[in-house]
Amino acid sequence: MRVAVLAGGRSSEHEVSLASAQAVRDGLAASGHEALDVRISREGRWGHEGRPVTLEPSGGLLAAAAAFPVLHGPFGEDGTVQGLLELLDVPYVGAGVMASAVSMDKAVFKDLMSAHGIPQVDYAVVRDRERPRLDFPLPAFVKPARLGSSVGISKASDSRDLDESLRLAFRHDPVVVVERMAEGLEVECSVLGNADPEASLPGEIVVTKGDWYDYESKYTDGGMELVIPARVPDQVREAVRELAVEVFRIVDCAGLARVDFFVEDGRVLVNELNTLPGFTSTSVYAKLFDASGVPYGELLERLLGLALERHERDRSYRF
């Protein structure tokens, strides 16, 4: 199959995207596919083999049978590229426009989880640089609502910290989430599928550099350790898997997602859902499925099949 692998992008996660996309292209090539390197510059220009890519509604993308977006953060994971691929009429791996946008916006996602009674950490949404009214004690984490990879996130231990953390977060986004610091384990679970998704074994994140799972811990060697399966009781592991699938369905996700949790005093609390997590063979998403019996090459094949399946299903409806 001829597959357009989208890499780079305008967000601060540009370099992370390039690494993920290289792994995806290598994996696809190893399975006999023709993997096209579609590079999106930091300015948002699309190119392939040194030439600009022309995009035309319903005109496809470089005659590819499918697109594999490996883009993280704004202008890639937030529904914008997904909407463009819909206009191009190209099957693509991963969540659609709505699920991507909802999952990228931490404030909207958390409000949606609250509406469905999903257990999560106490939080407050802050807009327009207002002073938050917190119904929970510090310490807390202060997060831009629509960034990934812990960019712009900081920990506030007292009111002075909170003011500085808010200033930092508001440099990135006009909407900020303040979230009570969870006292417990950080656990992640990968999900694969469309209408009938399946969850991987959950894994436990052990931070070995710093005191929380920040950008450095995620992307520097030795910054974290992934323990599979997570060191929690069997019933907690099953609760994580069940909640991962439930959250996946609530946001109407498709293809893939990684759902992040806290396990606090035996309670499973949803943190967030990532529609396009890091995708090297050593990234958490792939490692969890590898430990669950789905190796990297097979994972790529299944994701392509799910993309084609969803495209065919969506085209069967009348608009």
Judge whether 248 and 273 are in contact, CB under 8 Å: yes
CA dist list (Å): 170 to 105, 114, 129, 144: 14, 24, 7, 7
Q: Please report, for the domain that includes residue 34, its CATH number.
A: 3.40.50.20
- Domain-embedded: residue 319: no
Mark whether 83 and 173 lie in a shared domain.
no
- Domain-embedded: residue 314: no
93's CB contacts (< 8 A; 6+ apart) are 66, 67, 68, 69, 255, 256, 303, 304, 306, 307
Q: Please report, for the domain that includes residue 263, its CATH number.
A: 3.30.470.20
- Domain-embedded: residue 19: yes
Mark whether 189 and 275 lie in a shared domain.
yes
State the pLDDT at residue 129: 75
Mark whether 283 and 148 lie in a shared domain.
no
Mark whether 50 and 143 lie in a shared domain.
no
List, for residues 240-270, the tens digit of each pLDDT value: 999 999 999 999 999 999 999 999 999 999 9
Query: Which residue, 149, 147, 155, 139, is CA-closest to 171?
Result: 147
List, for residues 26-70, the tens digit of each pLDDT value: 999 999 999 999 999 999 999 999 999 999 999 999 999 999 999
Catalytic residue IDs: 13, 149, 219, 258, 260, 272, 274, 278
Counting the structural domains of the chain, the total is 3
* Long-range CB contact pairs, 223-227, < 8 A, 24+: 226/284, 226/287, 226/288, 227/203
Query: Which residue, 155, 75, 163, 98, is CA-closest to 126?
Result: 163
Mark whether 56 and 88 lie in a shared domain.
yes
- Domain-embedded: residue 317: no
Query: Within 10 A of 215 (CB to CB), how many other CB atoms are there?
Result: 18
Mark whether 244 and 275 lie in a shared domain.
yes
Rounded-to-integer distance, Cα 313 and Cα 41, Å = 32
Q: List the single range of 85-94, 100-109, 147-156, 196-205 with lowest mean pLDDT.
A: 147-156
Mark whether 112 and 198 lie in a shared domain.
yes
Mark whether 168 and 271 lie in a shared domain.
no
State the pLDDT at residue 224: 80
Mark whether 35 and 56 lie in a shared domain.
yes
**Average confidence score pLDDT of the chain:** 93
Mark whether 204 and 299 lie in a shared domain.
yes
Query: Within 10 A of 29 (CB to CB), how many other CB atoms are there?
Result: 12
Degrees, nearest 5: CA angle 128-130-133 = 135
Which tokens is 133 given? Answer: 């009214």
Residue bearing the bigger pLDDT, 13 or 211: 13
- Domain-embedded: residue 266: yes
- Domain-embedded: residue 190: yes
Mark whether 254 and 113 lie in a shared domain.
yes
Degrees, nearest 5: CA angle 281-92-251 = 85
Query: Which residue, 270, 226, 291, 251, is CA-closest to 96?
Result: 251
Mark whether 74 and 220 lie in a shared domain.
no
Q: Please report, for the domain that includes residue 167, its CATH number.
A: 3.30.1490.20
- Domain-embedded: residue 313: no
The band of 130, judged by pLDDT with boundaries at 50, 70 and 90, is confident
pLDDT(216) > 70: no
Rounded-to-integer distance, Cα 182 and Cα 172, Å = 24
- Domain-embedded: residue 76: yes
Query: Within 10 A of 13 (CB to CB), how many other CB atoms are there?
Result: 25
State the pLDDT at residue 82: 98
Query: Which residue, 100, 99, 104, 82, is CA-closest to 91?
Result: 82
Rounded-to-integer distance, Cα 215 and Cα 104, Å = 17
The band of 223, judged by pLDDT with boundaries at 50, 70 and 90, is low
Domain that holds residue 165: 123-180
